[in-house]
Protein backbone atom coordinates (compact mmCIF):
# COMPACT_ATOMS: atom_id res chain seq x y z
CA UNK A 1 0.00 0.00 0.00
CA UNK A 2 1.20 3.50 -0.70
CA UNK A 3 2.78 5.44 2.15
CA UNK A 4 0.53 8.33 1.16
CA UNK A 5 -3.12 7.34 0.61
CA UNK A 6 -3.47 9.80 -2.26
CA UNK A 7 -0.66 8.18 -4.29
CA UNK A 8 -2.23 6.79 -7.45
CA UNK A 9 -1.09 3.23 -7.98
CA UNK A 10 -2.22 0.73 -10.59
CA UNK A 11 -5.40 -0.17 -8.73
CA UNK A 12 -6.59 -2.39 -11.55
CA UNK A 13 -3.50 -4.56 -11.13
CA UNK A 14 -3.98 -4.62 -7.35
CA UNK A 15 -7.41 -6.19 -7.88
CA UNK A 16 -5.91 -9.16 -9.74
CA UNK A 17 -7.55 -11.64 -7.35
CA UNK A 18 -10.98 -10.00 -7.62
CA UNK A 19 -13.89 -11.84 -9.19
CA UNK A 20 -14.40 -8.94 -11.62
CA UNK A 21 -12.62 -5.62 -12.19
CA UNK A 22 -12.94 -2.62 -14.47
CA UNK A 23 -11.01 0.50 -15.40
CA UNK A 24 -13.35 2.98 -17.06
CA UNK A 25 -13.38 6.49 -18.43
CA UNK A 26 -16.56 8.40 -17.71
CA UNK A 27 -17.59 11.60 -19.49
CA UNK A 28 -17.59 13.85 -16.41
CA UNK A 29 -13.99 13.42 -15.20
CA UNK A 30 -10.46 13.15 -16.54
CA UNK A 31 -9.13 10.32 -14.36
CA UNK A 32 -10.25 6.74 -14.94
CA UNK A 33 -12.50 5.03 -12.41
CA UNK A 34 -11.44 1.65 -11.09
CA UNK A 35 -13.99 -0.76 -9.64
CA UNK A 36 -13.82 -4.36 -8.50
CA UNK A 37 -16.07 -7.02 -7.04
CA UNK A 38 -14.13 -9.32 -4.75
CA UNK A 39 -14.73 -13.04 -4.40
CA UNK A 40 -16.81 -12.47 -1.25
CA UNK A 41 -19.04 -9.99 -3.11
CA UNK A 42 -17.61 -6.74 -1.71
CA UNK A 43 -17.59 -3.84 -4.17
CA UNK A 44 -14.77 -1.29 -4.26
CA UNK A 45 -14.88 1.81 -6.42
CA UNK A 46 -12.11 4.37 -6.79
CA UNK A 47 -13.45 7.58 -8.34
CA UNK A 48 -10.29 9.67 -7.80
CA UNK A 49 -7.14 9.36 -5.70
CA UNK A 50 -9.04 11.19 -2.91
CA UNK A 51 -12.41 9.46 -3.20
CA UNK A 52 -13.04 5.73 -2.89
CA UNK A 53 -15.77 3.59 -1.38
CA UNK A 54 -15.95 -0.03 -0.23
CA UNK A 55 -19.33 -1.75 0.09
CA UNK A 56 -20.36 -5.09 1.57
CA UNK A 57 -21.93 -7.76 -0.62
CA UNK A 58 -25.32 -6.47 0.63
CA UNK A 59 -24.54 -2.89 -0.48
CA UNK A 60 -23.75 -1.35 2.92
CA UNK A 61 -20.87 1.10 3.12
CA UNK A 62 -17.97 -0.46 5.00
CA UNK A 63 -15.16 2.05 4.44
CA UNK A 64 -14.40 5.17 2.45
CA UNK A 65 -11.51 7.51 1.80
CA UNK A 66 -12.67 11.04 1.05
CA UNK A 67 -10.62 14.24 0.97
CA UNK A 68 -7.87 12.90 3.23
CA UNK A 69 -10.17 11.25 5.78
CA UNK A 70 -10.70 7.54 6.33
CA UNK A 71 -14.26 6.52 7.21
CA UNK A 72 -15.22 3.21 8.80
CA UNK A 73 -18.66 1.88 9.58
CA UNK A 74 -19.70 1.65 13.22
CA UNK A 75 -23.02 0.06 12.22
CA UNK A 76 -25.17 3.08 13.09
CA UNK A 77 -22.69 5.83 12.14
CA UNK A 78 -19.27 6.32 10.58
CA UNK A 79 -16.02 6.95 12.37
CA UNK A 80 -14.01 9.63 10.58
CA UNK A 81 -10.31 9.02 11.04
CA UNK A 82 -7.48 11.40 10.27
CA UNK A 83 -4.05 9.80 10.04
CA UNK A 84 -1.04 11.70 11.32
CA UNK A 85 2.33 10.19 10.53
CA UNK A 86 5.74 10.97 11.92
CA UNK A 87 9.05 9.25 11.29
CA UNK A 88 8.36 6.86 14.18
CA UNK A 89 4.62 6.37 14.44
CA UNK A 90 1.20 6.71 12.87
CA UNK A 91 -1.71 8.07 14.88
CA UNK A 92 -5.42 8.03 14.03
CA UNK A 93 -7.67 10.74 15.44
CA UNK A 94 -11.28 9.58 15.53
CA UNK A 95 -14.58 11.43 15.35
CA UNK A 96 -17.89 9.57 15.17
CA UNK A 97 -20.21 11.41 12.79
CA UNK A 98 -23.30 12.94 14.34
CA UNK A 99 -26.66 12.38 12.66
CA UNK A 100 -26.52 15.55 10.53
CA UNK A 101 -22.90 14.85 9.50
CA UNK A 102 -23.83 11.28 8.57
CA UNK A 103 -26.78 12.48 6.49
CA UNK A 104 -24.57 14.99 4.69
CA UNK A 105 -21.88 12.37 4.06
CA UNK A 106 -24.52 10.01 2.65
CA UNK A 107 -25.84 12.68 0.29
CA UNK A 108 -22.32 13.54 -0.90
CA UNK A 109 -21.48 9.86 -1.39
CA UNK A 110 -24.57 9.24 -3.49
CA UNK A 111 -23.96 12.47 -5.45
CA UNK A 112 -20.50 11.10 -6.30
CA UNK A 113 -21.75 7.65 -7.30
CA UNK A 114 -24.97 8.55 -9.16
CA UNK A 115 -23.22 10.00 -12.25
CA UNK A 116 -21.20 6.79 -12.53
CA UNK A 117 -24.35 4.67 -12.22
CA UNK A 118 -26.10 6.83 -14.83
CA UNK A 119 -23.12 6.63 -17.22
CA UNK A 120 -23.09 2.84 -16.90
CA UNK A 121 -26.85 2.61 -17.46
CA UNK A 122 -26.63 4.86 -20.54
CA UNK A 123 -23.57 3.10 -21.99
CA UNK A 124 -21.59 6.34 -21.72
CA UNK A 125 -18.36 4.77 -20.44
CA UNK A 126 -15.19 3.83 -22.25
CA UNK A 127 -13.73 0.54 -21.07
CA UNK A 128 -9.97 0.76 -20.70
CA UNK A 129 -9.49 -2.65 -19.09
CA UNK A 130 -12.06 -5.16 -18.00
CA UNK A 131 -12.47 -8.64 -16.57
CA UNK A 132 -16.05 -9.55 -15.81
CA UNK A 133 -19.53 -8.60 -16.82
CA UNK A 134 -20.04 -4.84 -16.54
CA UNK A 135 -23.78 -5.43 -16.08
CA UNK A 136 -23.04 -6.65 -12.55
CA UNK A 137 -21.26 -3.38 -11.73
CA UNK A 138 -24.14 -1.37 -13.19
CA UNK A 139 -26.71 -3.34 -11.17
CA UNK A 140 -24.75 -3.02 -7.92
CA UNK A 141 -24.21 0.74 -8.29
CA UNK A 142 -27.83 1.34 -9.31
CA UNK A 143 -28.97 -0.55 -6.21
CA UNK A 144 -26.71 1.50 -3.92
CA UNK A 145 -27.83 4.80 -5.51
CA UNK A 146 -31.57 4.11 -5.47
CA UNK A 147 -32.00 4.61 -1.71
CA UNK A 148 -30.39 6.57 1.13
CA UNK A 149 -26.88 5.39 1.99
CA UNK A 150 -26.91 2.19 4.03
CA UNK A 151 -24.10 1.30 6.42
CA UNK A 152 -22.67 -2.19 6.75
CA UNK A 153 -22.62 -3.71 10.23
CA UNK A 154 -19.79 -2.55 12.49
CA UNK A 155 -16.44 -4.24 12.18
CA UNK A 156 -15.78 -6.64 15.03
CA UNK A 157 -13.67 -5.04 17.74
CA UNK A 158 -10.63 -6.59 19.35
CA UNK A 159 -11.16 -8.03 22.78
CA UNK A 160 -8.10 -7.63 24.99
28-71 residue pLDDT tens: 899 999 999 999 999 999 998 789 999 999 999 999 999 999 99
**What is the number of structural domains in the chain?**
1
Render 24-65 in DSSP notation, one character per residue. EE-TT-SSPEEEEE-TTS-EEEEEETTEEEEE-TTS-EEEEE
- Domain assignment present for residue 53? The answer is yes
DSSP structural state of residue 99: H
Q: How many contiguous H segments (helices) and E segments (strands) does the chain have?
A: 3, 9
pLDDT for res 106? 97
Instruction: Confirm whether 66 is domain-assigned.
Output: yes
Q: Which residues of the chain have pLDDT under 50?
A: 1-6
Residue 110 lies in a domain: yes
Q: Is residue 31 part of a domain?
A: yes
Q: What is the pLDDT of residue 14?
A: 85
Do 41 and 59 form a contact (C-beta atoms < 8 A)?
no
**81 belongs to a structural domain:** yes
Boundaries of domain holding 122? 11-145
Q: End-to-end distance of the chain based on CA atoms, in angstroms? A: 27
CB atoms within 10 A of CB 34: 24
Amino acid sequence: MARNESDREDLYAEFASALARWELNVPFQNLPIVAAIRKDGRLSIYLTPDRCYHFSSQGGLMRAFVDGFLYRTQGNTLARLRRFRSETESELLRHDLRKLELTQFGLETLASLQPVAASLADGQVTVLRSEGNMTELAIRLASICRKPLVLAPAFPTRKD
